[in-house]
Structure 1
Amino acid sequence: MNRLLVRVLVLLVLVLGVNYVAWRWLVSPNWDAWWIAVPLVLAETYSLVDVALFGLTVWRVRRRGPAGPPPPGASVDVFVTTYDEPLDLVLRTALAARAIRHPHTTWILDDGARPGLEALAAEHGIGYLTRTEDRDGRPRHAEAGNLNNALMLTQGEFLLVLDADQVPDPAILDRTLGWFDDREVALVQTPRWFVNVPADDPLGSQAPLFHGPIQQGRDGWNAAFFCGSNALLRREALMQLGSDGCVREVERDVRQALARTRAALRRARRSPEAAGPAVAALLDAIESATARAREELRAGAPLGELTSRLRRDVETAARRTVAEDFSAIEADLAELAALELPAPEAMVWPDELEAAVDRMSRGDLSPLAAIGPVREVLEAVSVDRPGEAQPVMPLATISVAEDMATSMRLHGLGWRSVYHHEVLAHGLAPEDLGTMLTQRLRRAQGTVQVLLRENPLLQRRLRWGQRLMYFATVWSCLSGFAAVVYFAAPVVYLVLGVLPVTALSPEFFWRFLPFMAANQLLFLVVGRGVSAWRGQQYSLALFPTWIRACTTAARSVWFGRPLGFAVTPKARRDGGPAWRLVRPQLVVMALLVAAVAVGSVRLVLGLNEPLGTLVNVAWVVFDLLVLSVLVRAARYRGFVADDPADGSDERSRNAVRG
């Protein structure tokens, strides 16, 4: 690829795009029809930002040569992750992993804990790991939790992560380990390549633009990220990430718990249990101790010392309250002894008071146990993480897209990544529309979760180029909202005669058409002959999936509604065409066709202008071409191995380093 030509095209696209969109905002909107004019110009602005982020990505495309020999004595654990995939599929991948030439240990990470798979692993001399018992009843964190569990049970200096269907080449470690001669490299990612995809790729599985120029461009910005499989990671970097993440999360929890203390104390003072002077004095002591802890936290005091001191101060106050109560009891006992009256059998005698004070100052017998809000806050102020199966979790668990979040955090710690553009594992793509939609939804949900929990633009430890590369991935998930506008605008004109622009003047065409032509030329040059059309189709055609991903991810982050983790099925689903899965798109297609018919009638009646009708009919044709990919996808019955039109084996053999 000619880097100079790419950069010239990027600049040309940006100049033409800004020229067009600025004119759209400043001159052309039909403010009388703001309800369609404003959404359309917003959608066009979204597309301009999308193109700008793509241009920035390919600005620094990095095409690497060979990796060099592996580091001497490099020890490797090969992880084959699985949950409920067919046993023969998992075993095939595990046997291929065992046959990798470089010395290593192969492990099957079975999150389904299946005895049959454990027996197969033992039969073939392959390691087998599943969750330990202390993880029962605690958050599993899906694949991230599976890998985190295995990290604590293995020792290899480097890790090769493979999905259950990703069969590795025997040379995969020989070809990639050499990148780790650079002590700052934490991640080496290789492409995903699927052997069961026909030449026309009806489900858009191969993604050659992503597993090529986009990842190579991110590599130029040191932002090539972990894709969940076919990747090597440095254990040292992951363990540092886990320790750093644990400290940050504990600090956040302690900060939030201390911030809640004031409200908890106010509620506690209003409770019936706080009516007595002893409890009121206890609350005063707790308020003083927590205020001091907040000051120490702002001053940067070590968390362990801070929380230990706070709990000790609170326990001392509780013991003092109990001791005062028992002093009164002791006085009563002395009075009973002086009067020579019989004491109750359960009475605590003076020589037992010290032990009784100790017992009642702790645990459920403490006066704190009666003050619910305060007790909850104090339990939260701890450096322990009792709600998790393990305190240190190297792979990020903030999202179902643990791979992207993990690599973003690694880059934030200063580690480097490498994109090695050579197909070294062959996998299985979804073979039906439903499976593909499940996979795309999960990925998009995880990406949006990352945006809402750790917005890349706000990560101070990332460089600006890295922030923008991660943000570009998130930005693409918002395309569903723009697609709705692009489908609605021509319908509005053809049916109602309402233009979102003031007029379809020559100025509109000479600003818009050059921008679109330069944009498509950029994709053509960057792809080096690889068509990006299928990806462009799905970025618009799957608008219900992208919108659902945004809304469900937002609910999970803001309202705590779990997403779950939908495992991508590896077996083809039987049945007829999956029309029900694309019902919204079929409705849109019907509306577009109906709009053309209505627009034609309105043109004959003189209600619509000829130029406006022609432009919007052309727009409808484009929209129908975009959506037409789903007709083939819904009818797709899976890959046929002896299909003469398929060239997957030949294409795989020809996939070489860029």
Structure 2
Amino acid sequence: MPVPYFRKFEGNFPQTASAMSARREAVWHLLAGITVGLGAYYLWWRWTQSLNPDALLFSTAVALAETAAYLGSLLFFYDIWREDDTPWQSPPTTRREACLEGDGSITVDLFITTYDEEVDVVEPSVLDALKLVVPKQTRLTIHVLDDGDRPIIAQMAKRHGVNYISRQENTGFKAGNLRNALFRTSGDFLVICDADTRVLPGMLMNTLGYFRAPDVAWVQTPHWFYDIPEGQDWARWLAARKIPFPNVLASLFRFASGKARVGADPYLSNSGLFFDVIQRRRNRHGASFCCGAGSIHRREAIFENALQQKSNAVRRLSQKTGAEPRSVAGTQSLQPYRFHVSEDIYTSILLHSDSTRHWRSVYHPGPQARMLSPWSIDAWTTQKLKYAGGTFDIMLRANPLFRRGMKWQTKLHYLATFWSYLGVLWMPVLLLAPVVAMFTGIAPVEAYSLAFFLHLVPLLVANELAVSVGCKQHDPGPGRLLAIATLPIQLRAFVMVLRGKRPRFPPTPKTPGSRAEYRRVYPNIAVLALFIAAAIVGVLNYLRGAEGFTEPVLIVNLFWLGWNALAMVRAILAAGWTDPEPQSQSHAGVEADAVVHA
């Protein structure tokens, strides 16, 4: 049996996420305020003084896209405005302290969901779950939920003394798998794990204390990928290929690529910005949404909300048909965990909009589990398509913005998520604007004059400083590149949902790619070719003195094309990436919250 690829990363553990200092937060707020003001001033100037009258439609389209991007920045700034962690408490030792009825022990069910993952992926998750430190007066039961109904997984579960739950069909995919297990278990709290979720020993000790508050429905912990390739030093990589002047070229490549090491994080899987900045700061309003794996749920909240949803469905159907509610009730099933590709965020929306119990979530900032990142372009595109398709489907068919029970602060957080995906409507305009300019010599502004740069450059500088300070030690650059690189995937998901197709995607593959696979990035390759053609045509037009091709037009649009092209190149390089170093490349870190919160 070959050794699983992720074994070489066994020594990797997450480091404790640091809180934002009051001084840094004050600087962030100052810079954010300056950026908002400069952005408003720039847009006022764009709409009142800089539209190109000779190409009004083109100029207006670009100005609209810039306005939409500015609104996205406002929502992002709101999203991450302030960090306010929920004070940690020790685990409850009685059912009353956990806001539970009855006597006896507090019971916890840990679900490990699997469908087609290899035993080598699932078994380490089971073994790490068995190492959990269980608080006093708490009883833990581990369940392997096998939607593939495989004897080999059943045997593995029996060998380690954990419960095995399967079903004959996989209706509802992961949501259906969870629902099936919910009706066959009875734990007061549920820990949700994917097949590759390897919990750290202190997970229960660090999270159960939040449930001392009766309105806490679930606790979300960060996703931390322990197998992200660290890459190889540029100089060493160049020297191994006998390229002259490796040290000199290494500095150039580091600057051009924006990456300190070649092959590092090829799929931009580092999720620190999303979890340690966005999710963590949504916690100030109890609005961090559930991300599935690594979350702990109060069973009462799930079932109580399911009963409420059933009651609402019965009432609506009764009013529509004129039938008695009792006769209608039997036709409506109880639906904890809706059958949806994004059952986690769907459940979050239902609970956050519960006007009766006012459920809230808590975000625990320290990673409590290790997970596997995508290691192939198939896994990467499957994951991104799933995220985008699920989000668009919820946005169009179950939009939380129209739910009466949800607080407006929470709605704005969800709107920030939706707005980032709605970039598919205006990002193409910003991508193609320099292409149009380089082919035609028509600029989206009246002129690339001194006034243009005086309005734009201060805004760009202020925004860069604000985001850099606001995001702490996390680099926002990869996220920006990812937004552009995944645009073809998001467009595909958007069109699919608009056509009425419900997202139905398989689990993200947990196997590494063995060879380059470019078919997944054909759209990116086509767009990159268009960028290169536009750059060549623009330069040639400038050299022959064509009308409209001035030096400012050439410089601005070449820079614009270069940034957009870099994002496309990142996706294409990811498609060609394979593990270059089969030997160990891991570095042991500091295990976050290993036993108990410090």
- Whether these two folds match at TM > 0.5 is yes
Tell me if the contact between 1:71 and 1:178 (Cα under 8 Å) persists in the aligned partners: no
Alpha-carbon distance in 2 for matches of 1:31, 1:97: 65
* 1:427 to 2:368 alignment: no
Alpha-carbon distance in 2 for matches of 1:384, 1:174: 41
Query: What is the SS of the residue equivalent to 1:417?
Result: strand
- Give ranges in structure 2 of 5+ residues lacking alignment: 1-19, 95-104, 231-263
Q: Which of 454, 457, 466 is 1:513 aligned to?
A: 457
Aligned position for 2:125: 93
Tell me if the contact between 1:492 and 1:498 (Cα under 8 Å) persists in the aligned partners: yes
Tell which structure's C-alpha radius of gyration is larger.
Answer: 1
Aligned position for 2:532: 593
Aligned position for 2:330: 384
* C-alpha displacement of 1:203: 0.5
Aligned position for 2:108: 76
* C-alpha displacement of 1:64: 4.3
Aligned position for 1:355: none
* 1:149 to 2:180 alignment: yes
Aligned position for 2:147: 111
Aligned position for 2:325: 304
Alpha-carbon distance in 2 for matches of 1:36, 1:589: 22
Tell me if the contact between 2:132 and 2:202 (Cα under 8 Å) persists in the aligned partners: yes
Aligned position for 1:394: 336
Tell me if the contact between 2:318 and 2:325 (Cα under 8 Å) persists in the aligned partners: no
Alpha-carbon distance in 2 for matches of 1:536, 1:29: 26
* 1:412 to 2:476 alignment: no
Structure 1 28/654 Cα, relative in aligned 2: closer, same or farther at 3 Å?
farther
Alpha-carbon distance in 2 for matches of 1:483, 1:582: 18
Aligned position for 1:48: 70
Alpha-carbon distance in 1 for matches of 2:491, 2:290: 24
Aligned position for 1:62: 84
Letter of the structure 2 residue corresponding to residue 406 of structure 1: T
Tell me if the contact between 1:245 and 1:394 (Cα under 8 Å) persists in the aligned partners: no
* 1:246-257 alignment runs, 5 A limit: 246-256=310-320
Letter of the structure 2 residue corresponding to residue 183 of structure 1: P
* 1:299-338 alignment runs, 5 A limit: 304-305=325-326, 308=327
Query: What is the SS of the residue equivalent to 2:272?
Result: coil
Aligned position for 1:538: 482
Alpha-carbon distance in 2 for matches of 1:70, 1:518: 46
Q: Which of 622, 625, 631 is 2:563 aligned to?
A: 622
Aligned position for 2:491: 547
* 1:551-562 alignment runs, 5 A limit: 551-556=495-500, 561-562=501-502
Alpha-carbon distance in 2 for matches of 1:545, 1:488: 17
Residues 187-223 of structure 1 deviation map (CA, whole Å, 9 limit, x = unaligned)? 1111111111023312011221101110111111211
Tell me if the contact between 2:366 and 2:592 (Cα under 8 Å) persists in the aligned partners: no
- The root-mean-square deviation of aligned C-alpha atoms, in Å, is 2.2
* C-alpha displacement of 1:596: 1.7
Query: What is the SS of the residue equivalent to 2:164?
Result: strand
Instruction: Report the TM-score when normalising by structure 2.
Output: 0.83
* 1:167 to 2:231 alignment: no
Query: What is the SS of the residue equivalent to 1:209?
Result: helix
Aligned position for 1:460: 404
Q: Which of 260, 272, 283 is 1:208 aligned to?
A: 272
Tell me if the contact between 1:80 and 1:161 (Cα under 8 Å) persists in the aligned partners: yes
Alpha-carbon distance in 2 for matches of 1:538, 1:651: 28
* 1:228 to 2:292 alignment: yes
Alpha-carbon distance in 2 for matches of 1:42, 1:253: 42
* C-alpha displacement of 1:531: 0.9
* C-alpha displacement of 1:143: 1.0
Residues 49-89 of structure 1 deviation map (CA, whole Å, 9 limit, x = unaligned)? 11111100111322345342344342100000111111232
Residues 534-554 of structure 1 deviation map (CA, whole Å, 9 limit, x = unaligned)? 111011111101111111122
Alpha-carbon distance in 2 for matches of 1:394, 1:31: 56
Letter of the structure 2 residue corresponding to residue 592 of structure 1: F
Alpha-carbon distance in 1 for matches of 2:54, 2:330: 60
Letter of the structure 1 residue corresponding to residue 392 of structure 2: V
Query: What is the SS of the residue equivalent to 1:104?
Result: strand
Instruction: Identify which range, 477-486 or 600-609, moves more after superposition.
Output: 477-486
Q: Which of 506, 513, 520 is 1:566 aligned to?
A: 506
Alpha-carbon distance in 1 for matches of 2:54, 2:380: 42
Alpha-carbon distance in 1 for matches of 2:494, 2:53: 29
Alpha-carbon distance in 2 for matches of 1:627, 1:506: 31
Aligned position for 1:360: none
* C-alpha displacement of 1:418: 0.7
Alpha-carbon distance in 1 for matches of 2:399, 2:48: 31
Letter of the structure 1 residue corresponding to residue 77 of structure 2: G
Query: What is the SS of the residue equivalent to 2:106?
Result: coil
Tell me if the contact between 2:115 and 2:147 (Cα under 8 Å) persists in the aligned partners: yes
Aligned position for 2:28: 6
Alpha-carbon distance in 1 for matches of 2:310, 2:580: 45
Alpha-carbon distance in 2 for matches of 1:507, 1:456: 42
Q: Which of 542, 554, 575 is 1:613 aligned to?
A: 554
Query: What is the SS of the residue equivalent to 1:128?
Result: strand
Letter of the structure 1 residue corresponding to residue 386 of structure 2: R
Alpha-carbon distance in 2 for matches of 1:248, 1:50: 34
Q: Which of 505, 518, 523 is 1:584 aligned to?
A: 523
Structure 1 231/588 Cα, relative in aligned 2: closer, same or farther at 3 Å?
same
Structure 1 653/159 Cα, relative in aligned 2: closer, same or farther at 3 Å?
closer
Letter of the structure 2 residue corresponding to residue 411 of structure 1: H
Residues 429-460 of structure 1 deviation map (CA, whole Å, 9 limit, x = unaligned)? 11012211100110111111111112122111
Structure 1 or 2: more helix by fraction = 1
Residues 500-555 of structure 1 deviation map (CA, whole Å, 9 limit, x = unaligned)? 11112222212211222222212211221221111110111111011111111222
Alpha-carbon distance in 2 for matches of 1:469, 1:642: 43
Percent of aligned positions that are identical? 34
Tell me if the contact between 2:125 and 2:197 (Cα under 8 Å) persists in the aligned partners: yes
Alpha-carbon distance in 1 for matches of 2:590, 2:73: 28
Tell me if the contact between 1:179 and 1:188 (Cα under 8 Å) persists in the aligned partners: yes
Structure 1 427/640 Cα, relative in aligned 2: closer, same or farther at 3 Å?
farther
* 1:129 to 2:162 alignment: no
How many residue pairs get matched? 523
Instruction: Report the TM-score when normalising by structure 1.
Output: 0.76
Letter of the structure 2 residue corresponding to residue 6 of structure 1: W
Aligned position for 2:227: 196
